[in-house]
Structure 1
Amino acid sequence: MAVSEYNDLPTSEQTRACVVCGQRFPRAELRPWISVRPQVSALIAVDLPAWSDGDDICVGDLAIYRRRHVEALLAAERGELSSLDHEVLQSLEAGALITLSPDAVDEGMTFGERMSDRVASFGGSWTFILSFLAVLIIWMALNVSALLFRSFDPYPFILLNLVLSCVAALQAPIIMMSQRRQESKDRLRAENDYRVNLKAELEIRLLHDKIDHQLSHQWQRLAELHEIQIELLEERGRR
């Protein structure tokens, strides 16, 4: 093995132990105590009273405590959490996408459901209306004129009424099946929108908390530096 390959391996100086799980991780996969938000840090201190400045926590364990913090916020605001809320929390902890593909709504459809959608789509189109109107006109014209052959359904078109009744009797449940399918699609899309919006809201809230924590820490450091500068100036003035 070349010398450069040995240098690429993480050493004990390049890795530190996570205070929660005890495993060693590279510094890039650890977060120091000072960078953790106070609300999340308080949850860690409940399980680990010795959690203090100088300790590090791995990204995975930090995500678990962050989820517990967000779950407590939601429970305080909304009460009991729904299954959708838990799905959002799991996605937030894993850092995974929660958006469903538009094609996922149509997955698992049976042959009858696909046929009902197609029949309902065709039955509600101008093509069906004009075609059916043409059939009615031709039917009535042939039976009224009776020029070429004997009429098979003379006025008042009893056979035509029977055909129309059968078509209406079959078309109504097919349309109802399609409407029920559409309601299921709309419900899934609404649930998907709810999950995405809730996760975005939680991410924005956590981002605001993180920025506020960093600004507060920076102001604290600036105040300390300002005090040190004042002390140095006072010492120089005494000399």
Structure 2
Amino acid sequence: MSNSTQHPLQHLAQNLLGKAIHELEPEESHVLEQIRQRRPISRDAADASDKQSSFGERLSDRVASVGGSWTFIICFSLTMLGWMLLNTDVLTHFGMAFDPYPYIFLNLMLSTVAAIQAPIIMMSQNRQATKDRLAARLDFEVNLRAELEIMRLHEKIDQRIQQRLDQILERLPEQPPQA
């Protein structure tokens, strides 16, 4: 294959990674393309993940963040305590308790909340695992880019040193021998 028909990344792939273009992983191809275009590679994993998420996934994150907070626990505990006090003391005094002890309706409500909340929290955990995998992939790309750029800099420095040494060696015969 001539240089004119060669894939634009082939030279970079061969020189930097020692691989043919068809042997590259998607992340490696992406990094080489960004190097070729002289563009930055780092991206915020949260932003990238949010762009890919659906409404349901974002909603599950919000529900899990609320359901896993001290504010929710305290408010929920106060609501249960209020429910029990209302049905045990206040409404029983007037003969209007709608859920007297043993609070069967309250137990039904708690079971329903738990049955709904558990899968939502699991969805959020799955989404967090996906975010973590995306963050790891983006970290890998940044690390690979940094490593390849350092290799390129080393190569340039080595070439410059070699050029300088060649210039010095060319001048040596010009100097008269010292006694």
Q: Is TM > 0.5 for Structure 1 vs Structure 2?
A: yes
Q: Partners of 1:63 and 1:150 in 2: how far apart?
A: 79
Shift of 1:64: 5.7
2:63 to 119, 136, 153: 119
Q: Partners of 1:162 and 1:190 in 2: how far apart?
A: 42
User: What amino acid is aligned across from residue 210 of structure 1 in structure 2?
Assistant: K
Aligned-pair identity (%) = 45
Q: Report the equivalent of 2:26.
A: 83
Q: Report the equivalent of 2:132.
A: 186
Matched pairs, number: 171
Q: Report the equivalent of 2:169.
A: 223
> Conserved in 1, the CA contact under 8 Å of 2:57 and 2:123?
yes
Q: Within 5 Å, give how 1:29-40 maps onto structure 2.
A: none
SS in 1 for 2:111: helix
Larger Rg: 1
Q: Partners of 1:155 and 1:104 in 2: how far apart?
A: 51
Structure 1: tracts of 5 or more residues without a match: 1-45, 49-60, 235-239
Deviations 1:99-152 (A, max 9, x none): 224422201422211211111110011110011000110111122212244211
Q: Summarize the Cα distance change of 1:62–1:136 in structure 2 as closer, same or farther, 3 Å threshold.
A: closer
Shift of 1:71: 3.1
Q: More strand per residue: 1 or 2?
A: 1
Q: Report the equivalent of 1:94.
A: 37
Q: Report the equivalent of 2:152.
A: 206
Q: Partners of 1:108 and 1:131 in 2: how far apart?
A: 33
> Conserved in 2, the CA contact under 8 Å of 1:67 and 1:93?
no
Q: Partners of 1:83 and 1:173 in 2: how far apart?
A: 33
Q: Partners of 1:157 and 1:173 in 2: how far apart?
A: 25
Shift of 1:82: 1.8
Q: Partners of 1:185 and 1:222 in 2: how far apart?
A: 55
SS in 1 for 2:86: helix
Q: More helix per residue: 1 or 2?
A: 2
Structure 2: tracts of 5 or more residues without a match: none
Q: Summarize the Cα distance change of 1:170–1:62 in structure 2 as closer, same or farther, 3 Å threshold.
A: closer
2:48 to 85, 97, 104: 104
Structure with higher RCO (Cα < 8 A, 6+ apart): 2
Q: Partners of 1:93 and 1:124 in 2: how far apart?
A: 45
What's the TM-score once normalised by structure 2's chain length? 0.85
What's the TM-score once normalised by structure 1's chain length? 0.65
